């Protein structure tokens, strides 16, 4: 699978860079994902939110995936760690699937390591959900 450069907004880039500063405070799996995200962000294309293509997965995006092995659909919202909530389908960018999706585009094939091996997903749809005030 050929690696594509991700798209990222300036605020998301700044938040990932802040996560990198505090990387040592996270568990080993999250540190690995932070480093991967930081690498992707450092080589990614920074785009203002108003100019972000509609087909790009950003934080606060609702994503519909198709699992390649079973054909099962997966519906989730990608968020930063503080907003993650499994019961609501809000997945952190530090989760393996979140790190794999961040900055990717509709029709991209993403691979996600799991305890049972690597799962492959096709991004079928993404919709930006404006952040709601607290």
Q: Are 76 and 91 in contact (CB under 8 A)?
A: yes
Write the CATH number for 44: 3.10.50.30
Print the domain residue range for 29: 7-128
Distance CA 12, CA 72 (A): 29
- 47 lies in some domain: yes
Which candidate, 74, 49, 71, 73, places its Cα nearest to that of 128?
49
Helix (H, G, I), strand (E, B) or coil at 20: helix
Number of domains in the chain: 1
- 15 lies in some domain: yes
CA 49 vs CA 82, 102, 129: distances in Å: 21, 15, 12
Helix (H, G, I), strand (E, B) or coil at 65: strand
- pLDDT for res 1: 47
Instruction: For the chain of 134 residues, list the mean pLDDT of each consecutive stretch of 10.
Output: 75 89 87 86 89 92 96 96 94 91 94 89 91 52
Q: What is the pTM of this model?
A: 0.85
């Amino acid at each position: 699978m050929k690696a594509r450069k991700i798209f990222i907004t300036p605020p998301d880039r700044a938040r990932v860079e802040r996560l990198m500063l505090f990387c040592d405070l996270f568990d080993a799996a999250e540190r690995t994902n932070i480093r991967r995200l930081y690498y992707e962000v450092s080589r990614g294309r920074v785009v203002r939110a108003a100019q972000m293509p509609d087909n790009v997965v950003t934080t606060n995006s609702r994503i519909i995936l198709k699992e390649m092995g079973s054909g099962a659909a997966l519906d989730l919202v990608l968020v930063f760690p503080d907003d993650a909530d499994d019961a609501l389908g809000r997945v952190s960018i530090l989760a393996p699937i979140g790190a794999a999706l961040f900055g990717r585009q509709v029709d991209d094939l993403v691979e996600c390591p799991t305890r049972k091996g690597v799962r492959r997903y096709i991004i079928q749809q993404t919709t930006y959900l404006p952040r709601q005030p607290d």
